[in-house]
Structure 1
């Protein structure tokens, strides 16, 4: 059995100054880049000034799974295919007293992003490069099989139900336009 296709990436997180009374800083992913050995395995500060910080979080493996080919297809069908970066704030402040926003997972699957969002996690999108898009497209072409469309049963064959969902029947004993004279006790 061949190993699953995978690439190793690093995430750059950006902390920008908002300087308002509700929230002094905002975290967001800035970019996803190919992982390189010199990055190591620990996060590190890349840049800092009064207005922002940029942190590198290395060594995220992004694997492609055959059973999630539809999730990749949905991503490729979007106007701009993207990385989905799932991240969380540290529970404890670091040595400088500040909390870091750490990426937890990186995916190319629309389904992964949906599950994370359903769990009310932080998920942001970043555009993929042309090379990653081509790599993902090749995988989808090899493994995605759209579900066959189910034939809809004609409406004339549907069973009749009343407004409560109970079986209903149609009686043709009455003539159109009202009942016959004498049905209501009138002569």
Structure 2
């Protein structure tokens, strides 16, 4: 599903940051956009920054269930600093995800900005319908130790060319005078 990302620019509160940017909303089913101005209130401006696809995977339904259990359920917007030298705006929308696990992976890297944006009721229903269709509970299987005997004598440890018994793992040295 295509999701439009709404970015809000407000004046910064320090002299070092002129503007403060946050992802303030999402537009389900939005058309393509390139930082189109949506609303202006004094110096506060909201832009439809970009439209990116929200892709759901059948293997990630457990993560989507965790995300829907959050209060409120959220979409995670992953932002990167603009790399183009002629970029009009400081950020690029990298992706949107409904998985809090995937969002955590991006947050751990420290290179991207991860913003939480509340889901609309229609988007919650769409994700829930996907989960209902594709979720399969995984049976927990406890790992068992192998039945290897650890009390047996180990033969063949170390290098047979070493005559002393003190360090069987030591590598042999070249004897003096031999080349």
Q: Tell me, in whole angstroms, the C-alpha distance in 1 between the residues paired with 2:48 and 2:139.
A: 44
Q: Tell me, in whole angstroms, the C-alpha distance in 2 between the residues paired with 1:49 and 1:151.
A: 58
Answer yes or no: is 1:110 the counterpart of 2:100: yes
Q: SS of 1:75's equivalent?
A: helix
Contact 1:81 1:128 in 2 (8 A): yes
So what's the TM-score if we normalise by structure 2? 0.69
Give the alignment partner of residue 134 of structure 1, picking from 106, 125, 138. Answer: 125
Q: Tell me, in whole angstroms, the C-alpha distance in 1 between the residues paired with 2:38 and 2:78.
A: 21
Q: Tell me, in whole angstroms, the C-alpha distance in 2 between the residues paired with 1:16 and 1:23.
A: 11
Corresponding residue number in structure 2 for 1:12: 6
Give the alignment partner of residue 21 of structure 1, picking from 11, 15, 23. Answer: 15
Contact 2:50 2:93 in 1 (8 A): no
Shift of 1:72: 0.8
Contact 2:28 2:123 in 1 (8 A): no
So what's the TM-score if we normalise by structure 1? 0.67
Q: Tell me, in whole angstroms, the C-alpha distance in 2 between the residues paired with 1:107 and 1:65.
A: 10
Answer yes or no: is 1:86 the counterpart of 2:78: yes
Corresponding residue number in structure 1 for 2:37: 45
Q: Tell me, in whole angstroms, the C-alpha distance in 2 between the residues paired with 1:23 and 1:59.
A: 27
Shift of 1:28: 0.5
Q: Tell me, in whole angstroms, the C-alpha distance in 2 between the residues paired with 1:94 and 1:52.
A: 23
Q: SS of 1:63's equivalent?
A: coil
Change in Cα spacing, 1:93 to 1:25, as seen in structure 2 (3 Å) is: farther
Contact 2:82 2:89 in 1 (8 A): yes
Contact 2:35 2:49 in 1 (8 A): yes
Q: Tell me, in whole angstroms, the C-alpha distance in 1 between the residues paired with 2:54 and 2:118.
A: 15
Q: Mean Cα displacement is larger for which, 137-146 or 8-17?
A: 137-146
4+ runs deviating over 4 angstroms: 92-95, 150-153
Shift of 1:90: 1.6
Q: Tell me, in whole angstroms, the C-alpha distance in 2 between the residues paired with 1:128 and 1:32.
A: 8
Corresponding residue number in structure 2 for 1:30: 24
Q: Tell me, in whole angstroms, the C-alpha distance in 2 between the residues paired with 1:53 and 1:126.
A: 17
Shift of 1:92: 5.1
Contact 2:33 2:48 in 1 (8 A): no
